[in-house]
């Protein structure tokens, strides 16, 4: 890639690949193609009969996938909440492994035109898929102050959510908030305590990004579909970048690994709820060298689980609500 081509360094690449325990003739899913760092590594290890189905909701990621040109590979423009539908359309009943490397990619963050970054000025968009939904600027223009406070406090864990919400409400009375710089400046004035090494706008931008892209809801919808569509022995590798999504993943995987017996009800042995997943190893974080070389990697956590042969009964799936941060 040339220096001008926005690129993305795959996080925990070796660990995620090992976690997938690839079989050369297997069918794999990369639910978050990005720039294909993980996908390329998977393809390197697959044999001629292997298959890789990649998804991304960002049209720019889908364009970038054209460079792959491999008959074993197929790129689909879809949110991963449409995983089952995507696999149906590909004629795939079950996959042998799935990887989800959540969050935003470096090209998304680094391109001021996408509106994710407070470091450069650009239109306040923040949609991973700009063909869907409303931009951050549109939402900021219409949300009431209580909604602003709830999103910024809940998804950004911002202590000054009340002050930031009030500052947004006051600023938009004189002019619409259309750019990342406008928002970063007014948040900077409202957040009074600086966290070391962190821009005061960090939490508000994270909150808006999670909300605008329904990130937690996407993960909550994808997880049961992944479990349903994994073949027995198939691995699920999930890389989270913030505690809110990691908490949803952790709770879901634990619930699938230790199904709860109905209380006070006699249950026949044949009706005992069976574990759908086995947790593989401990959560993994990047080694010091990776964290030093790639600041994006610092907050990454990789969790791995393996599908058991138990029958998938949707009623046994504990749906972890995207608002798990409330509890
Ligand atoms: C961290 S990057 C993935 C990088 C990739 N593993 C690589 O090595 O290039 C996350 C990607 O997932 C996509 N994404 C995030 N949430 C998504 C969702 N709900 N459905 C589909 N794609 C999503 C983003 O658009 C972004 O391109």
Atom of ligand 1 nearest to the CA of 58: 25
The predicted pLDDT at position 260 comes to 72
The pTM (predicted TM-score) of the whole model is: 0.94
- Cα separation, 291 vs 279, in Å, equals 25
Q: Which of 56, 210, 239 maximizes ligand 1 atoms within 8 Å of its Cβ, making it the mutation to test the pocket? A: 56
pLDDT value, residue 262? 66
Which spans in the chain are helix H?
A: 13-20, 37-45, 59-64, 83-89, 106-110, 136-142, 145-156, 161-174, 180-190, 202-212, 215-229, 243-257, 288-293
The Å distance, Cα 77 to ligand 1 centre, comes to 11
- Ligand 1 in contact with 61 (CB < 6 A)? yes
For ligand 1, is residue 58 a contact (CB within 6 Å)?
A: yes
Tokens of 130: 């700009």
**How many angstroms does the Cα of residue 219 sit away from the middle of ligand 1?**
12
Q: What is the residue-wise DSSP string for 102-167?
A: -S--HHHHH-GGG---SSS--BS---SSTTSS--HHHHHHH--HHHHHHHHHHHH--TTHHHHHHH
Ligand 1 centroid to 97 CA: how many Å?
17
Structure confidence at residue 327 (pLDDT): 47
Distance 253 CA to ligand 1 centre (A): 21
For residue 196, the CA-to-ligand 1 centroid distance in Å is 28
Residue 320, burial from CB neighbour count under 10 angstroms (0-12, 13-18, 19+): buried
What is the whole-number distance in angstroms between the Cα of residue 302 and the centre of ligand 1?
15
Ligand 1 within 6 A of CB of 296: no
127 touches ligand 1 (CB under 6 Å): no
pLDDT at res. 319: 59
- In short, whether 80's Cβ falls inside 6 Å of ligand 1 is yes
327 residues of the chain, pLDDT tens digit each: 333 445 788 899 999 999 999 999 999 999 999 999 999 999 999 999 999 999 999 999 999 999 999 999 999 999 999 999 999 999 999 999 999 999 999 999 999 999 999 999 999 999 999 999 999 999 999 999 999 999 999 999 999 999 999 999 999 999 999 999 999 999 999 998 878 888 999 999 999 999 999 999 999 999 999 999 999 999 999 999 999 999 999 999 998 998 776 666 677 766 777 899 999 999 999 999 998 898 888 999 999 999 999 998 777 666 566 665 554
Task: Report CA(263)–ligand 1 centroid distance (Å).
Answer: 40
For residue 57 and ligand 1, the question of a CB distance below 6 A is answered with yes
Residue 1 has a pLDDT of: 38
Predicted confidence at residue 296, as pLDDT, reads 83
Ligand 1 neighbour 103 (Cβ under 6 A):
yes
> Rounded to the nearest whole angstrom, what is the distance from the C-alpha of residue 274 to the centroid of ligand 1?
32
pLDDT reported for residue 313: 79
């Amino acid at each position: 890639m040339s220096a001008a081509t926005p690129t993305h360094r795959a996080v925990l690449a070796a660990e995620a690949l090992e976690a997938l325990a690839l079989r050369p003739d297997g069918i794999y899913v990369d639910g978050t193609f990005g720039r294909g760092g993980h996908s390329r590594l998977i393809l390197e290890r697959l044999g001629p009969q292997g298959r890789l189905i990649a998804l991304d909701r960002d049209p720019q990621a889908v364009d970038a996938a054209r460079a792959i040109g491999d008959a074993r590979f197929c790129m689909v423009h879809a949110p991963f909440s449409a995983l089952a539908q995507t696999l149906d359309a590909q004629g795939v009943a079950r996959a042998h492994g799935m990887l989800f490397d959540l969050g935003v990619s470096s090209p998304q963050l680094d391109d001021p035109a996408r509106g994710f970054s407070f470091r450069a000025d650009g239109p306040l968009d923040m949609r991973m898929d700009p063909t869907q939904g409303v931009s951050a600027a549109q939402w900021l223009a219409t949300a009431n102050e209580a909604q602003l406070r709830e999103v910024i406090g809940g998804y950004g864990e911002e202590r000054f959510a009340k002050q930031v919400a009030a500052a947004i409400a006051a600023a938009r009375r004189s002019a619409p908030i259309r750019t990342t710089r406008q928002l970063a400046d007014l948040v900077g004035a409202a957040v009074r305590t600086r966290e070391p090494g962190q821009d005061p706008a960090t939490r508000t931008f994270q909150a808006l990004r999670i909300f605008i892209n329904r990130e937690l809801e996407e993960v909550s919808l994808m997880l049961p579909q992944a479990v349903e569509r994994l073949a027995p022995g198939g691995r699920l590798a999930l890389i989270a970048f913030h505690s809110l999504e990691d908490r949803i993943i952790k709770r879901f995987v634990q619930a699938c690994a230790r199904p709860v017996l109905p209380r006070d009800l006699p249950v026949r042995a044949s009706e005992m709820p069976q574990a759908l997943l086995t947790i593989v190893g401990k959560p993994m974080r990047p080694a010091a060298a990776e964290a030093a070389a790639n600041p994006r990697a610092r907050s990454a956590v990789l969790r791995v689980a393996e599908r058991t042969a138990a029958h998938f009964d949707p009623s046994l799936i504990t749906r972890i609500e995207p608002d798990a941060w409330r509890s």
